[in-house]
Chain A
Amino acid sequence: MAKVPRNFRLLEELEKGEKGIGDGTCSYGLSNGDDIYMSDWNGTIIGPGHTIHENRIYSLKLHCDDNYPDSPPSVHFISRINLPCVNQQTGKVEPTKLSCLANWKRNYTLETVLTDLRREMANPHNKKLPQPPEGSSF
C-alpha cells in the first residue's frame, strides 16, 4: 500500500475533526486555520463518565512535525490534569508512558492519541486520582 504523504494525511484528519467523525468524545482541529503546514493542533477530550473527569473538558495542544505520521506527534495538556503519563510541570504527555506514543504506528492518528489518553483517564488506576480544580492550566 502506498504511503499517504504527511499533508494529505493531515488534511484527512482535519476533515474528520471538523466534521466530528468519530465517537464524539474527542475533538481536534488546527489551532490556526491559515497554517498551511498543519503543524499545530488543538484537541479536547471530554472526560469519561463515572470517573473524576466526568463533566470536564480537557484541552490539549498537539504538534505534528515534518516526520508525522512516521513519528508520533508531541502532545501537551493545556488544562491541568493529574495523570501518570503527564508531566506535572509542563503538561507534556511523556511519550514513553503512553502506549500509543511509545509504540507509534504509521496508521495511528491524532484521534488515536486523544482516545488513548481518554482511556488512560478512565483506567481504573487513574479514574479516581485527585484532580486540580477545573479551569486551571499548565
Chain B
Amino acid sequence: MKNHWWKILAVLLLLYAIIMGLFVPLKSGILGLTPREFKTDQKITTHVKTYNTDFTKGVDGSSIAYIKINDKFKLYADLVKVVDKNTLALDFTLPALLPSIQKKWPYTIVVNDKKHGAFVRPDAIVLEQAALNLDAAISNWPKQIEKQLLFPDELNFPFRPILYESIRNTFYHVPLWFGMVFLLFGSVIYSIKYLRKPNHNFDYRAKSLTSIAVLYGMLGCVTGAIWAKGTWGTWWTFEEIKLNVSAVAMLIYIAYFILRSALVDEEQRARVSAVYSIFAFVAVVLLLFVVPRIATNSLHPGNGGNPGFGGEDLDNTLRMVFYPAIIGWALLGFWLGQLHYRYSILAERLNDEFE
C-alpha cells in the first residue's frame, strides 16, 4: 500500500473534480431581453429572461436592476416585477438625453437581489437618443439613490453566455492537455536517464508514458471537438491556431511510434527515440504554449498575447476544482502508464526466455 498512495490520491482528486464539477451550481445569468431596442424619452417595459433563477416566491425589497450607461451613470429601474419563474419585467423611465457620446449603443444591464446575486449582461439593451448633448444630459440626469449590490454566500461557477453549463468542461477537457504535458515531461526524464545510463527499463518507461500522453492528447482533441460543436457550432476548424498546433503535436508523437517501429536494433531504437523524444517535447511545448499567443483573433481561450487563465474564464471557484483536477488526471495517466510499462517488461522478459 505504501507505494500506491498516489493512486489513491488520483482517485480522490478525480472524485472531487467530478462531484464538485457537476454539482456546484452556476451563478444566475441573463439570457436576453425582449424587446431590447428602445428610443429614449419614454417609459418602457422590458422582459428579462434569466437562467438558473427562481422568482416564484416573488422578488423581495432588495431586488434592483439598472442600465449601466458608463462607470459614472446608472439608470435604475422604477419597478422590478415577476412574470414567471425565470422572467422579470423591468420598468424604466428613459430620459431624453443620455450621458453618452453614442447615438445608438448597446448598454450593459445588471439585475441583483439577495437570493441570486448580481447578474450582468453586457450589450443587452440598445438605446437610441434623438440628439447628442453630453452637458445637458449630465445636468438633467435624474437624481437616484445609489444602491449596494448584494451577494448570496454560496459557491457558484461563473455564468458565461454561449458556454452555460459546459463551463464545467474546464475540469475534464483542459486537464487532459496539462496531463499530457506532464506525462511527456516524465517521458523526457526517462529518456535523459537512458542516455546517461543505457538501461532498457528507462526506455520502456519513456515509451509507456508517451503512449498514455498520446491517448490523452487524442482524448483532448475528441473532447475539444464535442465542446466546440456545442459552443462554436463546428467539430473542428483549421482557423483556430490552438487546434492546428495540437494536431501537429499529435503528428509529432505519432511519428515517434513510427520511428520506433522502423528501428530493429533494440539499443539503437532506444537511443534514437530518447533523443527524438527530448526534441519533440521542446517542440510540443513551444507549439502548445507559445505559438498560440501570436494569434490576435481567436475563439479558444489562452491565445492572443495573454494566457486565458484569468478574468471570467477561470475565476477562483473554478480554480478550486481545476487545479486538483489537473493533478488527478495527470496521476491517473501515470498509473495507466505504469500498467503499460509493467506489461512491456514482462513481455520482453518472456520473449528473451523463450527465444
A and B assemble together? no
Measuring CB to CB, which residues of chain A are less than 8 angstroms from any residue of chain B? none
